[in-house]
């Protein structure tokens, strides 16, 4: 989308013409701006000069650390639809593999063993 070209010379001529007619008073504008700048400077100086009390410490908030849940590993026997059929302790992987081979032999559907981590209830 094209922008409208601003002719600075025309705008300056319009501003000069308005000033000549007496609609705006540039001296008054400048004075108001200077007063505002002076007020801002005074406010900044007051902030900077505010003395701190001796022995006063800034309050520090400690972030809450999320407690990590302890996990326990198991071997799970799953079918093709990701439905868990059996759950074995981590040390009993041989038993899990044996269960998979039995299920494959009986139903001729693929089953597999997968590692599962579940949180420990304390």
**pLDDT one-digit tens code per residue, 77-99:** 999 999 999 999 999 999 999 99
Q: What percent of the chain has pLDDT over 70?
A: 78
pLDDT at residue 36 in the model = 72
- CB count in 10 Å sphere of residue 1: 2
Query: What is the pLDDT at residue 116?
Result: 96
d(CA 113, CA 76): 6
Residue in 76, 78, 86 with CA at minimum distance from that of residue 116: 76
pLDDT value of position 39: 76
- Mean pLDDT value across residues 46-55: 64
pTM of the model: 0.45
Contacts of 115 (CB under 8 A, 6+ apart): 73, 74, 75, 76
Q: Please, how many CA atoms are within 13 Å of residue 11, restricted to the half-sphere of its CB?
A: 4
What pLDDT score was predicted for residue 27?
52
What is the C-alpha to C-alpha distance for residues 21 and 27, in angstroms, rounded to an integer? 15
Average pLDDT over the chain reads: 82
* Banded model confidence at residue 117, pLDDT cuts 50, 70, 90: very high
Residue 43 pLDDT exceeds 80: no
Dig out the tokens for 16 from the structure: 């000069």
């Amino acid at each position: 989308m094209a922008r409208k070209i601003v002719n600075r010379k025309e705008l300056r001529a319009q501003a000069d013409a308005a000033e000549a007619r007496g609609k705006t008073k540039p001296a008054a504008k400048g004075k108001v701006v200077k007063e505002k700048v002076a007020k801002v400077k005074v406010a900044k100086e007051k902030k900077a000069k505010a003395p701190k009390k001796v022995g006063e410490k800034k309050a520090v908030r400690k972030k809450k650390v999320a407690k990590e849940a302890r996990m326990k590993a198991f071997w799970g026997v799953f079918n093709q639809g990701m439905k868990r059929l059996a759950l074995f302790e981590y040390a009993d992987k041989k038993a899990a593999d044996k269960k998979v081979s039995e299920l494959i032999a009986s139903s001729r559907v693929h089953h597999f063993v997968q590692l599962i981590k579940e949180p420990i209830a304390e």
